[in-house]
């Protein structure tokens, strides 16, 4: 883990699109296809704001009654794994029943247990239940939908690569998530991420946003000219810092 807890808390002050704006300046990845969820997901606790943490991973298959019989100690062994990893942590759950929704991995009890183990929330390519109680626990969830039951809910495999919402996630990867979706930050991009996000947000305010909001009393021609000048200044500032001009 390359970031301090203080840096993680500072990352949490920005929304996920702002983190993306910084990330695109420093990464060698494809900014149109890598790093973020490729399928729609829903933030069921948007009032909690963004969550940031390191991935702990697990797969489950609630339609299959054989899993709890095959390993009666699965829950205890899985919880020991979660407890062994430093926090803050985000539990990334692959539902092997996808696209069906048979049962939930998360509810009131499991969210409280994971909160006690240093987890701040989850991303699950399946369902959650007990929404009010999960809110009360302060456990954030990005999921596909709600459901009523838990089925044969049991950890099948953990501490492994999983895929959720079209995005592969490995244990230990840094995740930033909010109501817009989530990003899985490559290890090599972590050290410069906070600085880059701050810079690009300031760059927007210094140039494009201030130009757009300063058009009162000006003609359309004058406003357009000033926005073009601001866009050029935005790109020049980004180029000086990162060698790339950014979105504008």
pLDDT digits (tens, 9 = 90+) for 235-248: 999 999 999 888 87
> pLDDT confidence of 123, banded at 50, 70, 90?
very high
pLDDT digits (tens, 9 = 90+) for 57-115: 999 999 999 998 999 999 999 999 999 999 899 999 999 999 999 999 999 999 999 99
Considering only residues 166 and 248, tell me which one the structure prediction assigns the higher pLDDT: 166
The answer to whether the peptide bond before residue 231 is cis (omega within 30 degrees of 0) is no
Q: Answer yes or no: is pLDDT of 196 > 70.
A: yes
Query: How far is it, in rounded angstroms, from Cα 246 to Cα 23?
Result: 10
CA–CA distances in Å: residue 120 to residues 17, 18, 31, 204: 20, 21, 27, 30
Q: Are 104 and 127 in contact (CB under 8 A)?
A: yes
**What percent of the chain stands above pLDDT 70?**
100
């Amino acid at each position: 883990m390359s970031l301090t807890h203080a840096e993680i808390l500072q990352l949490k002050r920005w929304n996920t699109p702002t983190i993306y704006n910084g990330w695109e300046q420093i990464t060698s990845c494809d900014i149109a296809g890598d790093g973020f969820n490729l399928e729609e997901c829903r933030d069921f606790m948007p009032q909690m704001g963004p969550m940031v943490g390191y991935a702990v991973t697990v797969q489950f298959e609630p339609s299959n009654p054989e899993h709890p019989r095959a390993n009666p100690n699965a829950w205890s062994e899985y919880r020991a794994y979660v407890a062994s990893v430093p926090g803050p942590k985000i539990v990334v759950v692959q539902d092997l029943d996808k696209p069906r929704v048979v049962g939930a991995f998360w509810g009131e009890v499991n969210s409280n247990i994971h909160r006690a183990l240093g987890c701040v929330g989850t991303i699950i390519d399946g369902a959650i239940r007990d929404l009010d109680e999960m809110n009360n626990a302060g456990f954030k969830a990005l999921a596909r939908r709600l459901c009523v039951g838990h089925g044969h809910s049991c950890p099948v495999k953990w501490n492994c690569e999983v895929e959720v919402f079209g995005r592969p996630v490995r244990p230990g990867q840094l995740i930033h998530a909010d109501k817009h979706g989530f990003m899985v930050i490559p290890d090599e991009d972590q050290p410069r991420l906070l600085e880059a996000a701050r810079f690009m947000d300031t760059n927007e305010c210094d140039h494009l946003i201030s130009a757009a909001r300063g058009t009162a009393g000006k003609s359309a021609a004058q406003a357009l000219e000033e926005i073009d000048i601001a866009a050029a200044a935005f790109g020049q500032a980004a180029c000086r810092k990162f060698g790339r001009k950014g979105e504008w």
